[in-house]
Structure formats: structure tokens, C-alpha cells
Amino acid sequence: MNAQGRLISRFLDELSPGTLEWIGLRPARKEPMVAVSQTLAIADRGLRGDRRLEGSKGSARQVSIISVEFIRAIAQNVGVEHIPVDILRRNLLVSGINLNALRHQYFKIGDAVFQATAQCHPCSRMEAALGKGGLVAMLGYGGLCAKILESGEIKCGDQLIYLPPNKYQERQLSLY
């Protein structure tokens, strides 16, 4: 974890859990998203059924996450009432948590443990998906990229729980 992540983590003890609302898999580049109610998050790889699973092992972008709250902000920015989550091409939709607070942090969803690595910046495809200005509307609201540190099943309805760095390290030691 970097210095910024360590600084922020000192203030996150009171972060309320969020909820996993939706799981989307991309079977191949430019293919439509496939919504599933559960999947296996595979450490150092990606989500079972998602094209990123075949990508570079250890990638910092094994999973992409966006929040209901961010989608509302994007919709407001483009002047529409509703945006279907699948057109944003993110894997996980969560609610009830300040997603930006999790940048560089550890968290658990279901049986899997993740580390948020960076902001998930929108690509030029968002112009086609959201209309003119779609990419700009998403800036700051594109969500997060994450690595999967521990494999496990995740399913819609699971809580997203922040793991303080010292608790994550203790968890690692207890596995050995």
C-alpha cells in the first residue's frame, strides 16, 4: 500500500459496509456484458467468465467496480434519468459506500479479498454509449480497478467490507 493509502486508512474505521448489487462479465472484447448472480473471484487473475481472466497475471485491473451513487452522478451529468449499468462495462456494481475512500485499500466481498489499485478512467467508447460528452460526464465517477488477493465466491447481496491494512496482514499470517 502506498503512502496515500496508509494515510487514508487511518480514517476509515467507521466506513459502513456497502452491498454488491450486480455482477457483469465480459466474455470477449466489445461483446455485450453478461449479468450473473454469482461467480468465483480468482486470485491474481480475475472473475470466472470474464475476459480479463485470460489477461496478464497480477494485473492491477483484474476487476472494475462502480457504485450506484456514481451512476446517478453520471446520469445527472449527461442529463438522463437512468443509465443501464451494463453499458458502462464495469464488473461490479456496489451501493451504500464511498467508493473513492477505498482507493489503495483492502476490502472483502463474499469470500474474496481485493485491493483497490487505481481509478477506473472512462474510455472513448463512453461517447457512443452515453452520447456526446459521455466520457467527460464520467470523469471522477468511473469507479475503481482492483486486484484479487484471495480467491472466493462472490454473489449479489454480499457486503463489501473494508479491511484495515493491519487486519488484512493479520489475516494473511493466520493462513500460514
For residue 143, the domain's CATH number is 2.40.33.20
Q: What is the pLDDT along the chain (176 residues), one digit of tens a residue?
A: 666 656 677 788 888 999 999 999 999 988 999 999 999 999 999 999 999 888 768 788 899 999 999 999 999 999 999 999 999 999 999 999 999 999 999 999 999 999 999 999 998 889 999 999 999 999 999 999 999 999 999 999 999 999 998 766 666 656 54
Across the beta sheet with 38-42, what order do the strands follow? 46-47, 38-42, 152-155
**DSSP at 122:** P
Amino acid at the residue 58:
G
Q: Using the structure block, give the residue that is written with the C-alpha cell 453499458.
A: 87
- Total domains present in the chain: 1
Domain range for 116: 3-174
Cell numbers at 173, concatenated: 499470517
The whole-model pTM stands at 0.90
Cell numbers at 90, concatenated: 464495469
